[in-house]
Amino acid sequence: MLAADMPLKNMDRQTAASSSQRTHVKNMPDVLLINPLSIFRNVSEKSNLRNYKVSGVKTGVWPPLGLMYIAAELRKSGISVGILDAFAKEYSLDQTLEAIRREEPRIIGISAATPQIRGAYQLASEIKRQFGRNILVCLGGPHVSSDPQFMDRVDCFDFAVLGESELEFPGIVKDLLNGGVPERIYRSDPPVDLDALSVPDRSEFDINDYFKTEQPCFTVITSRGCPYKCIFCSRAAITDKVRYRSPESVLDEIGRCLERWGRTLVFLDDTFGMSRLHATRILEGIIDRAYDLRWTCNTRAHLIDRDFIDLMKRSGCYMLLFGVESGSEHLRNQILKKHVSDEAIRNAVSLCKEFGILSGLYFMLGFPGETRKEMEKTVNMGKDLGVDLITVHPTAIYPGSQLQKTLQEERGIDINAYWTEYAKGTLSFEEIPSVYIPEEMDLRYIQEARKRAYRKFYFRPSVIWAHLKNDMASLKDLKRDAVIAVNLFRHGKTSKDLK
């Protein structure tokens, strides 16, 4: 009988006692939520996918907001829960398993985006090997939510919960703790009233796990969902329904975070400012409450005008990041379905300069029908517009995206099956056709285009001087920018996360 078929009350261990008995035992939660590494290194492994580090300098790692939301709902339901961020702690597989052994949870929930699916599979396999039916293992997160059939191709997870699962997961857990048999897949309806959700509890996180070399910051979401239909994004496979938190609940959360996590805020909305009225009320509230903030967000160029950016500046905005993707307006709008004009991008960048706000552009290389001439427009766009920073990546093909469907229809390639074999370790990352390669190009051409884009942009005297001026007050920032510069020069990329 599979572990998924075993009622939890029949598990052959003393610790499979009632939840009420366990809540009095320190470090013995009923549920342990885990954010895994992309790959655990102390296992024989073909792939070379790496953690988000730049020559030893950790970058862009924040406490897992999604797991915090789920943990808060579990606690509200009277279920004891812990969170282990193995990714931030850079735990080996053995260290992660030892932490599980200390905690003795009855259910483990592993959340994984597609780049983490190998680490999630490694961890789940070892949990089942070492703990057998004593622990039920759940998979959640973007990968399985975008490709539910993943569960048909693997057997190390007892069950999966799809979508935004804060409301459904506590009921599932209670049933399993009382001896219920897990279904293979549970589907969640996205919460409609975001204010009804418990506020994430950040108290158990060690700030030093996240900001050893950078200034502390905290993350907040003001909305969920995205109405746009970009072909490379898998968001719609989960839900594209847009919902907003009340400005008051957002402002209250910001106030609590300021007490411990510093004054730098990152809004993690898919697109901040989709509703001008909603964003305006939040930013006016920041000003009215006299919060000493500096904040940044992802947004879209066509949402920016003079009145809005003036309010952004007065409320503490120091940087705006725009998803431009391609330097070709035709490709961006007709193929990618971005519906953002060159004029809107130029206007947004110009306003950022006028109001003293840093501007950054996200670019991607490799789309259906893209020509070398169009790709060269992307290579040069950041430099030509004079923005403050750029990121450039080959276009990754993720489950649930329109691009994934296009690849299967046009070339007969089932990328989901490839990701599954990668998760199992039977394929290396390099063997996955995970980057869209236009006709008459190859991966090497795209990689060289990325190198050109970074070198043309970052090795200009004006950019070097601007970074040196900013770094003079901080040895940490100077070290970070130095190692990034070395990677840009040697490898044509800012980090060694994905090849």
Neighbours of 469 (CB within 10 A): 9
Where do the domains of the chain lie, and which CATH numbers do they carry?
3-187 (3.40.50.280), 202-467 (3.80.30.20)
Question: Given a cut of 90, is residue 486 above it in pLDDT?
Answer: no
Asked if pLDDT for residue 259 goes beyond 90, the answer is no
For the chain, give the percent of residues with pLDDT over 70.
83
Banded pLDDT at 317 (limits 50, 70, 90): very high
Please report which confidence band the pLDDT of residue 256 belongs to, taking 50, 70 and 90 as the band edges: very high
476 band by pLDDT with thresholds 50, 70 and 90: low
Q: Which residues have CB under 8 Å from 278's CB, separation 6+?
A: 222, 223, 244, 247
Statement: residue 19 has pLDDT above 50: no
Nearest to 463 by CA among 389, 409, 393, 391: 389
Cα separation values, 240 from 139, 194, 225, 237, 400, Å: 22, 15, 5, 8, 12
Mean pLDDT score across all residues of the chain: 86
Q: Residues 87, 37: contact at Cβ < 8 Å?
A: yes
pLDDT band at 23 (very low <50, low <70, confident <90, very high): very low
Half-sphere exposure of 269 (CA within 13 A, CB side): 28
CA distances from 66 to 73, 156, 219, 351, 470 (A): 11, 23, 11, 33, 33
- How far apart, in whole angstroms, are the C-alpha atoms of residue 77 and residue 74? 5
CA distances from 112 to 39, 183, 200, 244, 268 (A): 11, 20, 19, 25, 17
- CB 327, CB 373: distance < 8 Å: no
pLDDT (tens digit per residue) in 366-423: 999 999 999 999 999 999 999 999 999 999 999 999 999 999 998 999 999 999 999 9
- Ranking 74-78, 452-456, 463-467 by mean pLDDT, the lowest is 463-467
| Cα–Cα–Cα angle for 297, 283, 71, rounded to 5 degrees | 60
Phi, psi of 297, deg, nearest 5: -165, 165
Q: Which two tokens stand for residue 199?
A: 């506020």
> 61 or 80: which carries more pLDDT confidence?
80
**What is the spatial order of strands in the sheet that 264-267 belongs to?**
217-220, 264-267, 294-299, 317-325, 358-365, 389-394
Q: Taking residues 22-35, report their average pLDDT.
A: 72
Residues pairing with 223 in the sheet? 244
Which value, to the nearest 10 degrees, does the dihedral of the CA atoms of residues 107, 112, 118, 121 take?
20
- 72, 198 contact by CB (below 8 A): yes
Give bridge partners of residue 294 from the DSSP assignment.
264
Q: Which position has the token pair 């898919």?
A: 270
Q: Is the pLDDT of residue 20 over 60?
A: no
Q: Where are the beta strands (DSSP E) in 101-237?
A: 107-111, 136-140, 159-162, 185-187, 217-220, 223-224
Give me the amino acid identity at 87: F
Determine the pLDDT at residue 460: 81
Question: Average pLDDT for residues 160-168, to the nearest whole number?
Answer: 96
pTM of the model: 0.86
Mean per-residue pLDDT for 295-312?
A: 98
What pLDDT, on a 0 to 100 scale, did the predictor assign at position 252? 97
Cβ-based neighbours of 335, under 8 Å, separated by 6 or more: 231, 367, 368, 369, 370
Over 90: is that where the pLDDT of 4 sits?
no
Cβ partners under 8 Å of residue 229, min gap 6: 236, 240, 337, 402
Residue 142 has pLDDT above 50, yes or no: yes
Confidence of residue 459 (pLDDT cuts 50, 70, 90): confident
- Average pLDDT of the segment spanning 177-201: 95
- As given in the structure block, the two tokens for residue 469 are 């001026």
Task: Return the number of other C-beta atoms located less than 10 Å from residue 85's C-beta.
Answer: 23
Q: Is the pLDDT of residue 257 over 90?
A: yes
Among the listed residues 454, 430, 333, 443, the one whose alpha carbon sits nearest the alpha carbon of residue 395:
443
Using a 10 angstrom Cβ sphere, with 0-12 exposed, 13-18 middle and 19 or more buried, the burial of residue 264 is: middle
Residue 190 to residue 193: CA distance in whole angstroms: 9
> Tokens 């305006």 correspond to what residue?
280
Instruction: Please state the rounded mean pLDDT for residues 295-310.
Output: 98
Which whole number is the average pLDDT over 199-220? 82
pLDDT band at 300 (very low <50, low <70, confident <90, very high): very high
As a whole number of angstroms, the distance between CA 82 and CA 325 comes to 38
Instruction: Look up residue 435 and give its DSSP letter.
Output: B
**Measured distance CA(498)–CA(201) in Å, rounded:** 31
Digit-coded pLDDT (tens) for 264-294: 999 999 999 999 999 999 999 999 999 999 9
Instruction: State the Cα–Cα distance between residues 421 and 432, nearest whole angstrom.
Output: 9
> What is the token pair recorded at 272?
């901040």
pLDDT computed for residue 201 by the predictor: 81
Query: Does residue 495 contact residue 38 with C-beta atoms inside 8 Å?
Result: no
Count of other CB atoms within 10 angstroms of residue 459 = 12
Burial class (CB in 10 A: 0-12, 13-18, 19+), 153: middle
Amino acid at 360: G
- Cα-based distances in Å from 237 to 104, 232, 287, 351: 34, 11, 37, 34
Query: What's the distance, CA 274 to chain centroid?
Result: 20
Question: How many CB atoms are closer than 10 A to CB 247?
Answer: 19
Chain centroid offset of residue 129 CA: 29
How far apart, in Å, are the Cα atoms of 365 and each of 273, 325, 376? 26, 8, 10
**Span 333-359, average pLDDT:** 96
